[in-house]
Structure 1
Amino acid sequence: MEATELLKKVRQIEIKTRGLSRNIFAGEYHSAFKGRGMAFSEVREYQFGDDIRNIDWNVTARYNHPYVKIFEEERELTVMLLIDVSGSREFGSAEKLKKNIITEISAILSFSAIQNNDKIGVIFFSNTIEKFIPPKKGKSHILRIIRELIDFQPQERGTDITGAIRYLTNAIKKRCTAFVISDFMDDNPDLDMALSIANNKHDVVALKVYDDREKELPSIGMIKLKDAETGQYVWVDSSSKRIRKTYSDWWNKHVARLDALFKKCGIDYARIDTNEDYVKSLMTLFKKRALKQ
């Protein structure tokens, strides 16, 4: 992509997602993702109604008058985005590819993090770790992430979510909030173990992005399908009820397996359809988390 076109797209994404983050997500994000606890801020004179458990006895003895400790939330978080850049992200309608929705969601989360003084980092993954951007603060860092989201060209086209989760566990030493943004088209049986280990160390949140047309085959006769990750083609008779039912059954089992997996691992998650408003899905997730705090 040419530099001028890239800068234009970066600006478009920045304007849309920064506004959403500031106007809609700021309070919900802050409530849903807590800091590391409470940190000592200062002392002040005791006032009627103060909790006597917060009295600073050393200062009180020095001034012969009761003083209490004031605490503030230690807000700063490290946020990691694990972004699926495999071939299947290119599925969708002309205007709403999974790739485009993933880009906008990632940008919104990035701006929300920065507005709350949190660090943000990114792991791009396919069936290998494509790129690691260490967590930092600042607008220039955010704009770099958005540029990468728009223009990143992966070396591979497969999917290995398990490998990406393990990389997160090893690469990020301190506890972080990690968003795994993917279509989760990965049947690796080791994924549950990797997620459980990662969620014990970090706070893992799963965002499954899918296109409504992936749920069932339309009855339009013989169609040529391409596996976006392997490049292989196959002819399918979509007018066959048996074939359409087999596909539909596979999709339902896929969704049920993920639901059970996330529940087992204690992971909060949301399913986001490219044809629906992802803002609503994210807000529902954030509010649900805030109630659990």
Structure 2
Amino acid sequence: MEANELIKKVRHIEIKTRGLSNNIFAGQYHSAFKGRGMAFSEVREYQYGDDIRDIDWNVTARFHKPYVKVFEEERELTVMLLIDVSGSLEFGTVKQMKKDMVTEIAATLAFSAIQNNDKIGVIFFSDKIEKFIPPKKGRKHILFIIRELIDFQATSRRTNIKKGLEYLTNAIKKRCTAFVISDFIDNSDFKNALTIANRKHDLVAIQVFDRRVAELPSVGLMKVKDAETGHEQWIDTSSAALRKAHREWWMKKQNILSETFTKSNVDSVSVRTDEDYVKALLNLFAKRN
């Protein structure tokens, strides 16, 4: 992308997403993730209404009555964005490509993070780690991230979510809040890596998908291409049986994905490229309060 065009696009994304984070997410982001950056402060006797998960069993056993751990909120969080940059993100049939929506969601979260005085970093992944931007603060850093989101060219078109999660677990030593933004079209098993990463960090999954992946239109013969492998084939979309089989495949895939998130205790949200991601993010934040 040419420099002038890139600057215009960065500015457009900044105006739109900073406005969203200022006006819509003010307070929502902070309250949704407030309990995730907590430091141990002291213990005190259990009081009615305390969360039993905060009971310190060692102290309780020593004094023969319940004591709870008291936590203080750390002044800042570290937020990591794990961005899928594989070939399948370069697809869109209605309003925009998946990649464009991923960019806007990531930029909105980034502005929400710096508004809250948090550090923000990025891991770009395909079937390998494409780029790591260490967490920092400030508008200049955010604009650099947005430029990369818009203009980054991956060296591989394939996906391996497990690699991205393992890198997060190993590279970020201190507990952070991490958003995995992907279409989650990945045939490899990443459940174990997801569970391990979520034990160390506070993980949130944001799935971006196109409605034509979920439901084929009846438009007769259609040439389809796998964006990651390059494989092409013709399919007859006028076949009701084919459309039904495709729909069932998608529903099964979504059910497995949802089950994976539930078993790994990871909060998640799915957003279609022709839908309002603002509403989806607000629902996600509300679910965490």
2:90 equivalent to 1:93: no
Q: Which structure would you say has the larger Rg?
A: 1
Counterpart residue number, 1:279: 278
Distance 2:244 2:257 in 1: 20
Q: What is the match of residue 175 of structure 2?
A: 175
What is the total number of aligned residue pairs between the two structures? 259
Deviations 1:118-152 (A, max 9, x none): 00000001111110000000111000000000100
Q: 1:136 to 1:206 in 2, by over 3 A?
A: same
Please name the residue that 1:10 is paired with: 10
TM-score, scaled relative to structure 1: 0.86
Q: Does 1:248 align with 2:247?
A: yes
Output aligned runs, 1:147-186, within 5 Å. 147-186=147-186
Q: Which residue in 2 is equivalent to 1:37?
A: 38
**Corresponding residue for 1:75?**
75
Contact kept, 8 Å, 1:39 with 1:74, in 2: the verdict is no
Q: Percent identity?
A: 64
Aligned to 2:21: 21
- 5+ residue gaps, structure 2, are 42-70
CA contact (8 A) 1:123 1:129 kept: yes
Question: Is 2:102 the partner of 1:102?
Answer: yes
CA distance in 2, matches of 1:9, 1:148: 12
Q: For residues 21-66 of structure 1, what are the alpha-carbon distances to aligned partners after superposition, in whole Å with 9 as ceiling and x for unaligned?
A: 01111200000012533688xxxxxxxxxxxxxxxxxxxxxxxxxx
Match of 1:234 in 2: 233
Match of 1:62 in 2: none
Q: What is the root-mean-square deviation of aligned Cα atoms in Å? A: 1.5
User: 1:8-33: per-residue Cα shift (whole Å, max 9, x none)?
Assistant: 10000000000000111120000001
Deviations 1:181-215 (A, max 9, x none): 000001212x1100000000000000000011111
Cα pair distance change 1:127/1:148, threshold 3 Å = same
How far the C-alpha of 1:74 sits from its partner, in A, is: 2.0
Distance of 2:29 and 2:72 partners within structure 1: 18
- The AA in structure 2 aligned to 1:91 is F
Aligned to 1:220: 219
**Which consecutive unaligned segments of at least 5 residues does structure 1 have?**
41-70
Runs of 4+ in 1 over 4 A off after TM superposition: none
Partner of 2:66: none
Q: Which one is further off, 217-226 or 87-96?
A: 87-96
Q: Which amino acid aligns with 1:143?
A: L
Supply the distance in 2 between the matched residues of 1:199 and 1:38 (Cα, whole angstroms): 18
Per-residue deviation, 1:82:
0.3
Deviations 1:233-288 (A, max 9, x none): 11111112221121111100011001100000000000011111100000010011
Normalised by the length of structure 2, the TM-score is: 0.87
Secondary structure of 2:154's counterpart equals coil
One-letter code of the match for 2:152? Answer: F
